[in-house]
Chains A and B, each alone.
Chain A
Amino acid sequence: MNLSTKAPHIVGVLLAGLAIITLQPLHKEMQHRIEQQQKHIETRQQWNNEYQAIQPLQMRWKASIPPANSEVFADQHRMTQHIAAGKYQLAMSETGITLTDASPLTHDGRPIGIMRYPIGNSGPNLVLTAADYNTAWTALRELQERPDVRYTRARIDAERGSPTLTLENFALLGRIEP
């Protein structure tokens, strides 16, 4: 058998060898990529599930807490309006209002995307006046339900004249949304 009759064999074996040599790492690479992609799918599925679970809360936040960059926090007047003391039949002295720099709220040392805007008309505290004790109590109960305001303690004083509702370390909240 001379070289010319051998040639198809040689070419065939070479082709087969070439196919194996080139496709084998390619096959490995593909397997690897498929595996990775499957992991991605798994991660994404978990993410989706978690996201779906969190979604109602997000909607609640969006409905109840104004964005940090909104006009609500533009100036003292608008912030006062946002507190809406009148809604609770409370009077609020607008003299001596102090605003402190906003700071982000954290939970367990991690940011939660909330800015705190402290506002007070008696130092850090907000003092509101009610016509009677019941009005003050009802207002406190309603304020407790508001997700966009925070204070550390509430005090109702009925010692003399109209009862006052003092909200210590009062702050408005704004959500940071990119």
Chain B
Amino acid sequence: MSPIQNAINNLRQRIAARQSSGNHLTGSANLAYIGQVRDLDPAMDTQNATTYVILGDLVLMAIDAIPNIPPASSTGLSDGDDYIAQPIRPSHRTDLSLAAIKTKPTHLHSIIHPALGQHINRHPGKRYILAADAMCKLAQKHRHKKHLLICNGYEAPEHTHLDVYQFAYGQLISVTESQLHETTHSRYVADVQEKLAKLTADIPDAHILWTAPLSAIELPSFPMEIIGPDIYQHKFLEVRTDGRTQPPSPKIPAIATILVIAGCTGIGAYDLQKFTQVRTAYDQLSQSTPTTDLPIDQLRTRATWQNALDTSAPQTTLKLAETLMAAIAQHPDWQLQSLQLATRRAGEPEIASANTSPLSITLLLPDQANQTAVEQAYQAITTLSSVTGIRLTVRPQGLSTQADNQQSKIRIVADMEPQ
């Protein structure tokens, strides 16, 4: 296929596309393009779009400078009608790549036609966005490319407005606006080719994107990627009519972020402070008391053992023994031969013993001839018991008689009844 045939095919395709759309405002159901003053009112009357993309003659752009306003003679504007400045867009990369650091930050300044401002004010509830924002966003997808050219523009019936945005590593470095012949004109393809040739003279390896609403075009010498109208389906800054040039500050999210971080930090600091406080309290408590070599439960057992010792029977048994001894001493002819006390106390090993009585005595008394030994023993023990209040019983086989210095004596072994 020869280049000429190619161009003819292109032309046919574009004429067909124009006819099928039926209007010079092209786009999907909720999207429409406004590229010249003439579009403004008919656009609103015929379109039900919710989002309008502003481009072409209605926007003037410059990088890091205020755009040149064309002389009043060419625009037909009166003195009171001034172009409306738009918020300045940072068109540089904000990521931390090496390319972003190396490139100088740039800002896109733009102004819109006063007629558009009036139009916007007359039609509240509609969204108006700048095509340039979509271009900058699109460029971010290709930010790894050293040279990127994005062709955007507006096809008016009498001429074509072509904007070529040049990016380096995702950063906007220039915008070239130009007027070409209308797309149906035979010169149109040549115009585009001439324009691209000029722009790629220094950057032959540039990647070229051809974006909606420009109709697709095929140029064998300039391979390019065709981008549909989907690029406008994002949230972009709306066109302003108040002339403010400051981009909307991210104050609310910033304040919210600061509050959240401050809150978190506050809670964290509080936790840390509380923890330190508790820790210090514990350390002080630890230091205020002496340390022990023994585990506390052993000390506890010791204490209970000692308590049991202090309150256990032997002391009272000693007292009982003394009472008993005093009572026996009242009878001069009685003789206490042996006294046995249980002194086993808590914690002592249990040692088997025949005698479990707390108190035992061996008593020797003179044998009275007129009474039996049993009677005498019974009498003596009863007397002792009643005097002392200690219940004594004669041990089985605990009674015997013996001769001592020619005198017969009765030997009684008696036990205190366990209480």
Q: Tell me the A residues contacting B by CB distance below 8 Å.
A: 1-5, 7-9, 12-13, 15-16, 19-20, 23, 26-27, 30-31, 33-34, 37-38, 40-41, 44-45, 47-48, 50-54, 57-58, 60-61, 103, 105-108, 110-114, 116, 124, 133, 137, 140-141, 144, 147, 150-159, 167-169, 177-178
Contact = CB atoms under 8 A, between A and B. Distances in A.
14 contacts: A12-B254, A12-B256, A33-B275, A37-B279, A54-B302, A106-B347, A152-B353, A153-B343, A153-B344, A154-B340, A158-B335, A158-B336, A159-B362, A177-B294
Interface stretch (B177-185, B188-196, B261-269): B261-269
B303 interface: yes
Contacts of B285: 41, 44-45, 48
Contacts of A7: 94-95
A147 B306 CA distance: 10
Nearest to B307: A57
B304 interface: yes
A177 B306 CA distance: 17
Interface residues of B, number: 79
B296 interface: yes
Contacts of B302: 54, 57-58, 61, 107, 112-114
Nearest to B294: A113
A150 B55 CA distance: 112
Given A2-B236, A107-B301, A110-B301, A23 B264 contact: yes
A93 B211 CA distance: 124
Contacts of B256: 12, 16
A37 B278 contact: yes
Nearest to B309: A147
Nearest to B279: A37
A27 B266 CA distance: 11
B286 A153 contact: no
Interface in B327-375: 335-349, 351, 353, 355, 362
A168 B348 CA distance: 12
A46 to B, nearest CB: 10
Consensus secondary structure, chain A interface = helix
A52 B348 contact: no
Nearest to B260: A16
Contacts of A124: 351
A70 to B, nearest CB: 15
B257 A155 contact: no
A44 B95 CA distance: 55
B225 interface: no
B253 interface: yes
Contacts, number: 201
B294 to A, nearest CB: 6
Interface in B248-299: 248, 250, 253-254, 256-257, 260-261, 264-265, 267-268, 271-272, 274-275, 278-279, 281-282, 285-286, 288-290, 292-294, 296-299
B239 to A, nearest CB: 12
Given A1-B235, A30-B275, A34-B274, A178 B293 contact: yes
Contacts of A113: 294, 298, 302
Interface hub of A9, A112, A140 (most chain B Cβ within 10 A): A112
B308 interface: yes
B349 to A, nearest CB: 7
A166 to B, nearest CB: 9
A99 B340 CA distance: 24
B271 A16 contact: no
Contacts of B292: 51
B89 interface: yes
B337 A158 contact: yes
A40 B282 contact: yes
A111 B301 contact: yes
Interface stretch (B68-76, B116-124, B133-141, B390-398): B133-141
Nearest to B321: A137
Contacts of B300: 50, 54
B322 to A, nearest CB: 8
Contacts of B133: 1-2
Contacts of B67: none
Contacts of B250: 5, 8-9, 12
B274 A155 contact: no
Contact of B268 (A23, A54, A110): A23
